[in-house]
Amino acid sequence: MSCCNAAKTYLEGGLPNRDVLRLGCEKSKALWTLDAKAQPRDTPMNLKELSEHLNLSQTTVSRALNGYPEVREATRRRVLEAARQFNYSPNARAKGLATGRAMSIGHVIPLSNKHEILNPLFGDFITGASEAYATGGYELVLTLVPDDEEAAHYHNIRARGNVDGIILHGPRVNDPRIDLLDRIGVPFLVHGRVFGRAEDYAFVDIDNESAFLRATRHLIALGHRRIALLNAVETMDFAYRRRRGYEAALREAGIGIDRALIEVGGMTESLGMRAASEMLDRPNPPTAFLCSSIVIAFGVERAILRRGLAMGEDISVVTHDDVLSYLPNGTSEPLFTATRSSIREAGRTCAQELMAMIADPGKPRPGIMLDADLILGRSTGRAPG
């Protein structure tokens, strides 16, 4: 007990001591040091030890740290100061067990071994989400799940209870995961939507169909009739909707749909390069390309430049632009005419909305549509001829 008093006196004493002050304590053999620069302890300090040091009960210390009103202001300050000096922070697992809240959110990414379609978007989406989690005090736990193990995985995620909610990435057309998660009963939010299903789940999405409808209309208005679509695999919901928008615009203009002008695959530079090269070499090449990702669009531009053609004059290109930090679409005037919607912003919004859902499970599930503006860049112009 004497050691504890000594510590208390010292703690209240004020200036941090540069010397390593050691205080023996009868209950533990650990040597306490008051300086963060000193030897690390074998094990972090816990609430019991902290409260013994302060000559307070665990109850009071816990309440002081968590901002409950039942503690005197002076006591609270003393507790906070000690916690700071001993670098105490509560064990998250124990806290989680006691409160029933994990304070972390799971991001589940389907790992189709064929197409890692989300890879290029990933860094930026996560960056946005993390910004939100940091302010909300949540952790982000990430799981990439092979397609065939998904169901098992979602069940476990609930039972294991180390996340309070899930963000679902890369929804597919008729994705069964929504129903699954609904049955399992874990709060979740979908980044994207599921075509062919009532929107009775929480989601954050953009209007892919409308975006590509407008993009295609724009190309048609410029006189283009042969417009190629370079899309992600159309089992992905977003890709399917983009295709619908594209086709709707062609139909309303009385332009037939030419399957030879549609190419699908991963969102890779080489898809853009390869598909554009191949199409441009045909007898009756397209005069415009519509791309589902700026990664693809850069490949298309390369194919165009390689042929000595000029993008925006000989060949027009419109792309969806996720505003990836490493592939900026020009500095002042955009390089590509694009339907633009920041994936990072989407990440932030998803995180915020899911945190709100968890905080208040009673409130209706949000269905948020982010804007996807059609912005004009230098990659489009009147169809030649």
Partner DNA sequence: TGCACCGACCAAAGCGCTTTGGAAAACTTT
Partner DNA sequence: AAAGTTTTCCAAAGCGCTTTGGTCGGTGCA
Contact residues for DNA, defined by CB under 7 A: 3, 43, 46-48, 55-60, 62-63, 65-66, 70-72, 75, 88, 90-91, 94-95, 97-100
Choose the one of DNA, a copy of itself, none that binds residue 301, judging by a C-beta under 5 to 8 angstroms depending on kind: a copy of itself
**Nearest distance in Å: CB 48, DNA:** 6
**Nearest distance in Å: CB 44, a copy of itself:** 4
Choose the one of a copy of itself, DNA, none that binds residue 295, judging by a C-beta under 5 to 8 angstroms depending on kind: a copy of itself
Residue in this structure with the two tokens 């005069």, named with its chain if needed: 287
Angstrom CA distances, 237 to 18, 21, 196, 357, stand at: 60, 62, 10, 24
Choose the one of a copy of itself, DNA, none that binds residue 57, judging by a C-beta under 5 to 8 angstroms depending on kind: DNA
What's the CA angle centered on 192, arms 191 and 197, to 5 degrees?
Answer: 125
**Nearest distance in Å: CB 262, a copy of itself:** 20
**Nearest distance in Å: CB 72, a copy of itself:** 25
Angstrom CA distances, 128 to 50, 132, 345, 347, 385, stand at: 36, 7, 6, 5, 45
Choose the one of DNA, a copy of itself, none that binds residue 48, judging by a C-beta under 5 to 8 angstroms depending on kind: DNA
The count of C-alpha atoms lying within 13 angstroms of the C-alpha of 20, restricted to the half-sphere facing its C-beta, is 10
- Which lies closer to a copy of itself via its Cβ, residue 15 or residue 74? 15
- Which lies closer to DNA via its Cβ, residue 49 or residue 207? 49
Distance, CA of 226 to CA of 285 (rounded, Å): 7
Q: Is 140 exposed, middle or buried (0-12, 13-18, 19+ CB in 10 A)?
A: middle
Name the 3-class secondary structure at 190. strand
- Which lies closer to a copy of itself via its Cβ, residue 245 or residue 265? 265
Residue in this structure with the two tokens 């909707």, named with its chain if needed: 241
Count Cβ atoms below 10 Å from residue 222 Cβ, excluding itself.
Answer: 16
**Nearest distance in Å: CB 37, a copy of itself:** 7
- Which lies closer to a copy of itself via its Cβ, residue 247 or residue 301? 301
The count of C-alpha atoms lying within 13 angstroms of the C-alpha of 307, restricted to the half-sphere facing its C-beta, is 20
26-31: list long-range contacts, CB under 8 Å, 24+ apart: 26/1, 27/52
**Nearest distance in Å: CB 80, DNA:** 13
- Which lies closer to DNA via its Cβ, residue 18 or residue 29? 29
**Nearest distance in Å: CB 89, a copy of itself:** 4
Choose the one of a copy of itself, DNA, none that binds residue 8, judging by a C-beta under 5 to 8 angstroms depending on kind: a copy of itself
> Which among 211, 265, 263 has a CA at the least distance from the CA of 241?
211
Choose the one of a copy of itself, DNA, none that binds residue 65, judging by a C-beta under 5 to 8 angstroms depending on kind: DNA
Pair of tokens at residue 274 = 């390869």
Choose the one of DNA, a copy of itself, none that binds residue 17, judging by a C-beta under 5 to 8 angstroms depending on kind: none
- Which lies closer to a copy of itself via its Cβ, residue 7 or residue 227? 7
Residue 175 makes CB contacts below 8 A (sequence gap 6+) with: 194, 197, 237
Contact predicate 262/287, CB 8 Å: no
Contact predicate 338/355, CB 8 Å: no
**Nearest distance in Å: CB 214, a copy of itself:** 25
Choose the one of DNA, a copy of itself, none that binds residue 123, judging by a C-beta under 5 to 8 angstroms depending on kind: a copy of itself
- Which lies closer to a copy of itself via its Cβ, residue 131 or residue 314? 131
Contact predicate 269/296, CB 8 Å: yes
- Which lies closer to a copy of itself via its Cβ, residue 12 or residue 252? 12
- Which lies closer to DNA via its Cβ, residue 65 or residue 219? 65
**Nearest distance in Å: CB 271, DNA:** 46
Choose the one of a copy of itself, DNA, none that binds residue 62, judging by a C-beta under 5 to 8 angstroms depending on kind: DNA
**Nearest distance in Å: CB 250, a copy of itself:** 28
Output the DSSP codes for 59-128: HHHHHHHTT-TTS-HHHHHHHHHHHHHTT----HHHHHHHHS---EEEEEEEE-SS--TTHHHHHHHHHH
- Which lies closer to a copy of itself via its Cβ, residue 142 or residue 221? 142
